Amino acid sequence: MGEPVDTAFKTTGSKWLLPVSEHLGFPLDQVNFLACQFFALAAAFWFRLYLSPGHANPLIRHAVATLLGIAFLIFCFGWYSAHILTVVLASYLIIIKADINNVHRYTMVTAMGYLTACQVSRVFIYNYGILSTDFSGPLMIVTQKITTLAFQLHDGMCKKPEQLTSEQRSMAINVRPSLIEYLSYNLNFLSVLVGPCSNYKDYTDFIEGRHISRRLRQHVGTCNGQNGYDKTPEPSPLNAVIQKLLVCCGCMLLFLVVTRSLPIKHNADLDFVSSAPFLTRLTYAFFSIQAARPKFYFAWTLADAVNNAAGYGFQGMDENGKPSWDFICNINIIGIETATSFKTFIDNWNMRTGIWLKMVCYDRAPKHQLALTFILSALWHGVYPGYYFTFLTAIPITIAARAIRKSIRHYFLGSRVLKLGYDILTWAATQLAICYTVMPFLLLAVDETIIYYRSMYFHVHIISILAAVALRRKQNPRDPSASATNSKTFSSTSSSSSSSSSVSCPAKCQPVHSNNNDKVD
């Protein structure tokens, strides 16, 4: 959302809504995306009510979900949708034909290699004036799903239970999926355009009618003796969907009123950089980054609402005994806006991608987990230089933030006033560090990134490196768990634990299968 309508001619999808695009002043690719997502919302209600597991067998549900998903891809991306279908079919051949001991490696290389090739071609097709909803978005989601399934299949068929973590054991797959199951998981209309990526077992539970009963079974506090989960009426997602749609409306309003008035590119404008004082540049950078978030909030919250409308995403009962529909929640807006640490911000942003990175990279890398995970994240996002500036910059900031918290936080816990002051200071530092770190991600180009970082005097780079080096020498050697704690990059999503309610995720956004000590983005 946000480019002038002159990019419409590049759209390879349907032109049916071109008059609407011209009337509203939105690019056609964005109008097509919104049309598909709102149609998906209506179809999701129909899917839950008229194609529920009690009314239709799993084969019908798989087939309908797949066909609608493919239709959305063709409508939005035209012949470019062939890229997505090609990598899904190629990966299925690997799943059924390749040596099961290496299926995860072959699939990762194939899916990430194909994604990277498409990302390179995307640079030549769109240059730096990329469409906000081009075909690479669904291809990125499909890559997550393909590799997730492959690793979980390898866990289930090649490893002994004692070799797996509890999370890996619960998600391990013991039987190769059929073609229709594989297509449905990867291409279903609920998540084909913008995600989120969920586990294969969770998705098949949803299709086959076990999703809600399993969540209730895990929350034994909602059952009492003779009145078990199997006798509990199926909760309705209507209230959750309405709340999330209201959040979407607020985000759209913010986008129309605020985002367009604070363009990101102005941070690298030579006249602005050369004439404005440092504090003015810093203030503009802060508010322009804040203004860039609503479009992401909108897309992820709408996708969550679509899944909920179909009956997918039930988390269980919250502490108040009310149903929570945040099982596949991708974002915690309150957690992001109130984050007091770099890690907490990461934990609340694009949460399902964080879980994927942790599952396929961080948990399995023999060493250098932090660096490899950030590099994989950058590669998954694309080949624009700005992505690599962002993720490489995040490494020293993450290390420095961890060292600072470990070294000084305990001095502020003895007094409410000191703790409040510490929280305010760390909130401001976190938000400014995030602004500095993600700016290249939005600027994309090397020249503009260098202009911005020079205008900021590289101050966050310098401070984080000095802090990491200085505080590393002061680490307490008496704590035997220090090295183990330091090795953990990402802890439980703050969206899961720091806030009991959120405008985007009314209850705790706590994926049941996420580890409470590790998370990445």
> Per-residue pLDDT tens for 244-289?
999 999 999 998 888 888 999 999 999 999 999 999 999 999 999 9
pLDDT band for position 512 (cuts 50, 70, 90): very low
Decide if 513 is catalytic. no
What is the reported pLDDT for 264? 94
Cα four-point dihedral sign 294, 298, 300, 301: positive
Do 304 and 196 meet the contact criterion of CB atoms below 8 Å apart?
yes
Q: Is residue 337 part of a domain?
A: no
Do 393 and 440 meet the contact criterion of CB atoms below 8 Å apart?
yes
62, 83, 154, 381: the active-site residue: 381
DSSP 132: T
- Please enumerate, as own/partner, the contacts of 103-109 that have beta carbons within 8 Å and a separation of 24 or more: 103/150, 103/153, 103/154, 104/147, 104/150, 104/151, 104/153, 104/154, 106/150, 107/146, 107/147, 107/150, 108/147, 108/150, 108/151, 108/360
Q: Is residue 517 part of a domain?
A: no
Decide if 381 is catalytic. yes
pLDDT band for position 11 (cuts 50, 70, 90): low
266, 350, 459, 513: the active-site residue: 350
Do 289 and 439 meet the contact criterion of CB atoms below 8 Å apart?
yes
What is the reported pLDDT for 343? 84
Of 209, 244, 259, the residue at which a domain comes to its end is 209
What is the reported pLDDT for 133? 56
Do 199 and 147 meet the contact criterion of CB atoms below 8 Å apart?
no
Of 209, 231, 258, the residue at which a domain comes to its end is 209
* Bridge partners, 324 (sequence order): 316
41-50, 407-416, 479-488, range with greatest mean pLDDT: 41-50
Q: Is the pLDDT of residue 150 over 90?
A: yes
Of 209, 226, 251, the residue at which a domain comes to its end is 209
For the record, the structure tokens of 213 come out as: 């009963």
20-34, 89-103, 407-421, 500-514, range with greatest mean pLDDT: 89-103
The whole-angstrom separation of Cα 196 and Cα 302 is 11
What is the reported pLDDT for 491? 39
The whole-angstrom separation of Cα 379 and Cα 310 is 32
**Count of domains observed in the chain:** 2
Q: Is residue 274 part of a domain?
A: no
Find the domain containing 414 and state its range.
364-493
Q: Is residue 354 part of a domain?
A: no
Average pLDDT of 36-58?
A: 95
What does each C-alpha distance from 334 to 314, 502, 511 come to in angstroms? 20, 5, 17
Average pLDDT of 180-195?
A: 96
Do 445 and 357 meet the contact criterion of CB atoms below 8 Å apart?
no
- Considering the chain, what is the average pLDDT of its residues? 84
35-49, 127-141, 400-414, 458-472, range with greatest mean pLDDT: 35-49
For the record, the structure tokens of 279 come out as: 């504090």
Q: Give the DSSP per-residue string, 308-355.
A: HHTT----EE-TTS-EE--TT----HHHHHT--SHHHHHHHSSHHHHH
Q: Is the pLDDT of residue 473 over 60?
A: yes
Which of the two residues, 403 and 451, has the higher pLDDT score? 451
- Please enumerate, as own/partner, the contacts of 264-267 that have beta carbons within 8 Å and a separation of 24 or more: 264/288, 264/289, 264/292, 264/439, 264/442, 264/443, 265/443, 265/448, 267/439, 267/443, 267/452, 267/455
Backbone φ, ψ for residue 480 (5° rounding): -65, -15
CA atoms within 13 A on the CB side of 374: 20
> Per-residue pLDDT tens for 327-370?
999 999 999 999 998 888 988 999 999 999 999 999 998 888 88
Backbone φ, ψ for residue 316 (5° rounding): 135, -165
> Per-residue pLDDT tens for 294-321?
999 999 999 999 999 999 999 988 888 8
What is the reported pLDDT for 224? 45
DSSP 234: P
pTM, entire model: 0.84
Q: Is residue 515 part of a domain?
A: no
- Of the candidates 136, 14, 10, which has an alpha carbon nearest to the alpha carbon of residue 75? 14
* Bridge partners, 227 (sequence order): 224
Q: Is residue 255 part of a domain?
A: no
Q: pLDDT exceeding 70 applies to what percent of the chain?
A: 84
Which of the two residues, 401 and 128, has the higher pLDDT score? 401
Strand, helix or coil for residue 198: coil
What does each C-alpha distance from 66 to 62, 186, 302, 478, 509 come to in angstroms? 6, 8, 20, 56, 27
For the record, the structure tokens of 439 come out as: 């700016």
Q: Is residue 93 part of a domain?
A: yes
Backbone φ, ψ for residue 220 (5° rounding): -65, -15
Q: Is residue 263 part of a domain?
A: no
Average pLDDT of 394-409?
A: 86
What is the reported pLDDT for 503? 35
Do 305 and 241 meet the contact criterion of CB atoms below 8 Å apart?
yes
Q: Is the pLDDT of residue 129 over 90?
A: no
The whole-angstrom separation of Cα 494 and Cα 351 is 10
